[in-house]
Chain A
Amino acid sequence: MTGLVALLTSILTITLRAGTSLIFGTVGEIYTERSGILNLGIEGMMLASAVTGFGVGYYSDSALLGLVVAACMGGLLAAVHAFLTVTMRANQVVSGLSITLFGTGLASFLGERLGPATNNHSLVGLIGPRFSPLVVPGLSQIPVLGALFRQDPLTYALYVLVPLAWYYLYRTRFGLNLRAVGESPLTADAMGVDVIRIRYLYTILGGMLVGVGGAHLSLAYAPGWTENLTGGRGWIVIALVIFAMWNPLRAVLGAILFGGINAVQFRLQAGGTTIASAYLNMLPYLITILVLVAMTWWEALSHRVGAPAALGVPYIREDK
């Protein structure tokens, strides 16, 4: 029995830790998509943020400063996307994919140039500052749920951020304006909401959260820089947004599922259990497809929890 409790506690601990970067990214992308902007540049933004965050952290010896710069990097790339799609009205899919290609290349380039001369100007293999897990005395001893209190500061920040993100979106006037812009920019505009400003604002805000997600990888979860550190986590975020049906609370469930799958199956393997890991790895994507199918079938459901109606559509304000 104690063995089972210990196993569950360790699985929950690692699952939350693995899911943190995904939750930051997903909440960020939910806010971006709620304003009607689809940003497929997450993978590139996460990589670029991870490398700059680690680089700044390494030189300043401050993980916090690294985090701030990483968030700015994410915001900067998102601003480029916003300029291309909102102001220039470029195709959002093409622009997002370009951001991913650019961000991935930029990250490799910076990783090979920003390092100290002693390491051949490379950031690979260096040891820098990190956000270490802080164990809360007392609370961390609770069976299973104690796992919630053995996390790093960025994961603790999520305990506040996620409920706040939900409340802001559904219970405040600002959140209503944001959702209105994503559903029907024309109506929102008629009501006096500045569509352009809102789209810029939440694309950049979303990008900053994605940047924090990237920094969590290089400054907390897998400290250090290695090329292609994210390993496709940016694409998982995009699937997660659909999985969460654009709701920040459900994003947590999805991220824990996606992030936890590996942790669980590696643990089962390490314990000597036979398991078809291929099927387990497929599960989150399978559920995402099911959600998409369900939304197509039941129109009522799609109205309540579906994609923002104006997602991906540029807003052209007619001259009056």
Chain B
Amino acid sequence: MMRRRMLMLVALALVASLVVVACAPTPEEDETPFQTAFVYIGPPGDMGWTYEHDRGRQQVEAEFGDAVETTYIENVEQGPDAARVIRQYAQQGVDVIFATSFGYMDSMYEVAEEFPDVIFEHCSGYRTRDNMATYFGRMYHPRYLSGLVAGSMTEVNSIGFVAAFPIPEVIRGINAFTLGVRDVNPDAEVRVVWTNTWYDPVREREAAVALLDAGVDIIAQHQDTTEPQKAAQERGALSIGYNSDMRAFVGDTVLTGPVWNWGAYYIDTIRDAMNSDWQTHQYWGGLEDGIVLLADFSPRVPQDVRDRVATAQQAIIENDEVFCGPILAQDGSLMVAEGECMSDEAMLNMNVFVEGVVGTIPQ
């Protein structure tokens, strides 16, 4: 009898100890920070595209402190190199991986299949999985606003646009910019020169100089460096920046510019992932989310122009009507009828210029 009671006690004690062990917090779990990684196409020192993504990463660090650890790798080539880098991060136990160039899409898509427990985020692409999402910004919002500024401030009614490649993203930006220009100045034109490069400082400068020689007095651009802005300044002309607040690197001749602001998106996405609220998505946010912004104005921009931009900005935030009719195409035909708006799908496949653009889209 005594023996049986002893056995019972021992058994109870064993069970109790197991319960205690199971419930006790394991110290390691609390101290391991949430791991995130960023894959960059260029160096953060490009003062443009990658610079802005890295600023977003730094905002993540500032927001979460020790709870989140970020790492990054720069100058990753598209193709097999990208797949290797992304796979390595996934194997190391990184929780969320951000790939910040269109060209990484297929590599990430392939690796995402092998690691269903890792979250993959791809910038500017269109392929998704249960654990792979896409994100991008409606850059055409601030481009339209910067067009209002350029249209108000050109004295010769001719504005130059140094453009990288004839793809929908760039064409959409040129069109939104031109719509802004023509809303305040119906006589103004936007002259486009294609460089066929994202990053070639000398070519971008040559293109800007050619536009200045053709008589434009403001240079806008869709490139990854500040060279068109510098070329404009040296010739005493004004400019509209892109990507980052280029006024900081060039000076007050940069009136303003559409800029990226990835920090808010990165912070929200990582918070969702930490709370297990993350679901796959195709994010395309605009001014209303703050993922794209108009940079601060140069002192050269007069108050009435600023007021006009502020009104237009509020209107876009409340109701995005940038690509709502009536809009005429470059050849004068009707592109969007009055009372209609372009769908996201149509905007993502835009391949004709609006009225007011001088230049051609190579087929």
Q: Which residues of A contact B (CB under 8 A)?
A: 10, 14, 18, 108, 111-112, 122, 124-125, 217, 221-224, 226-231, 233, 262-263, 266-267, 269-272, 274, 276-278, 281
Bound: A262/B160 CA distance, A: 17
**Secondary structure dominating the interface of B:** mixed
**Top 10 closest A-B pairs, CB basis?**
A266-B210, A270-B214, A231-B200, A125-B249, A226-B201, A269-B193, A270-B210, A272-B358, A267-B210, A270-B211
In the complex, how many angstroms separate the beta carbon of A174 from the nearest chain B beta carbon? 35
Interface: B202 (CB within 8 A): yes
In the complex, how many angstroms separate the beta carbon of B219 from the nearest chain A beta carbon? 11
Pairwise interchain contact A112-B45, C-beta atoms closer than 8 A: yes
Pairwise interchain contact A263-B225, C-beta atoms closer than 8 A: no
Bound: A125/B206 CA distance, A: 18
Bound: A233/B205 CA distance, A: 15
Q: Besides A221-B202, A262-B203, A278-B362, 9 other CB < 8 A contacts?
A: A226-B225, A226-B226, A228-B200, A228-B201, A231-B201, A263-B206, A266-B210, A269-B210, A277-B196
Bound: A230/B47 CA distance, A: 18
| Chain B residues whose CB sits within 8 angstroms of the CB of A229 once the complex forms | 201-202
Pairwise interchain contact A277-B194, C-beta atoms closer than 8 A: yes
Pairwise interchain contact A222-B227, C-beta atoms closer than 8 A: yes
A-B contacts, 12 of them at CB < 8 A, read A10-B213, A14-B213, A122-B45, A125-B226, A226-B226, A230-B202, A262-B203, A263-B210, A266-B207, A266-B210, A271-B214, A278-B196
Pairwise interchain contact A217-B47, C-beta atoms closer than 8 A: no
Pairwise interchain contact B45-A227, C-beta atoms closer than 8 A: yes
Q: Which residues of B contact A (CB under 8 A)?
A: 42-43, 45-47, 160, 191-197, 199-203, 205-207, 209-211, 213-214, 216, 225-227, 230, 249, 358-360, 362
| Chain A residues whose CB sits within 8 angstroms of the CB of B214 once the complex forms | 267, 270-271
Whether A18 contacts B206 in the complex (CB less than 8 A), given A231-B201, A267-B214, A270-B214, comes out as yes
Bound: A111/B46 CA distance, A: 11
- The chain B residue sitting closest to A111, CB to CB, is B45
- The chain B residue sitting closest to A6, CB to CB, is B213
Pairwise interchain contact A124-B47, C-beta atoms closer than 8 A: yes
Bound: A281/B200 CA distance, A: 15
Pairwise interchain contact B45-A231, C-beta atoms closer than 8 A: no
Pairwise interchain contact A231-B203, C-beta atoms closer than 8 A: yes
Pairwise interchain contact A266-B202, C-beta atoms closer than 8 A: no
Bound: A189/B207 CA distance, A: 51
Bound: A162/B191 CA distance, A: 38
* Among B192, B196, B201: residue with most chain A CB under 10 A: B201
| Chain A residues whose CB sits within 8 angstroms of the CB of B216 once the complex forms | 270
| Chain A residues whose CB sits within 8 angstroms of the CB of B227 once the complex forms | 222, 226
Pairwise interchain contact A267-B213, C-beta atoms closer than 8 A: yes
| Chain A residues whose CB sits within 8 angstroms of the CB of B194 once the complex forms | 269, 277
Bound: A315/B225 CA distance, A: 46
| Chain A residues whose CB sits within 8 angstroms of the CB of B225 once the complex forms | 226
Whether A124 contacts B210 in the complex (CB less than 8 A), given A217-B202, A222-B201, A276-B362, comes out as no
Bound: A217/B206 CA distance, A: 12
Bound: A258/B200 CA distance, A: 16
* Among B206, B211, B358: residue with most chain A CB under 10 A: B206
Pairwise interchain contact B191-A270, C-beta atoms closer than 8 A: yes
Pairwise interchain contact B209-A14, C-beta atoms closer than 8 A: yes
- The chain B residue sitting closest to A120, CB to CB, is B45
Pairwise interchain contact A222-B202, C-beta atoms closer than 8 A: yes
Choose among A122, A270, A276 the residue that contacts B193 (Cβ–Cβ < 8 A): A270
In the complex, how many angstroms separate the beta carbon of B294 from the nearest chain A beta carbon? 21
| Chain B residues whose CB sits within 8 angstroms of the CB of A18 once the complex forms | 202, 206
Pairwise interchain contact A222-B205, C-beta atoms closer than 8 A: yes
| Chain B residues whose CB sits within 8 angstroms of the CB of A276 once the complex forms | 362
In the complex, how many angstroms separate the beta carbon of A294 from the nearest chain B beta carbon? 29
Bound: A224/B229 CA distance, A: 13
Bound: A228/B194 CA distance, A: 20
Whether A270 contacts B206 in the complex (CB less than 8 A), given A10-B213, A227-B45, A231-B197, comes out as no
Pairwise interchain contact A277-B206, C-beta atoms closer than 8 A: no
| Chain B residues whose CB sits within 8 angstroms of the CB of A274 once the complex forms | 360
Choose among B42, B196, B359 the residue that contacts A272 (Cβ–Cβ < 8 A): B359
In the complex, how many angstroms separate the beta carbon of B308 from the nearest chain A beta carbon? 28
| Chain A residues whose CB sits within 8 angstroms of the CB of B206 once the complex forms | 14, 18, 262-263, 266
| Chain B residues whose CB sits within 8 angstroms of the CB of A227 once the complex forms | 42-43, 45-46
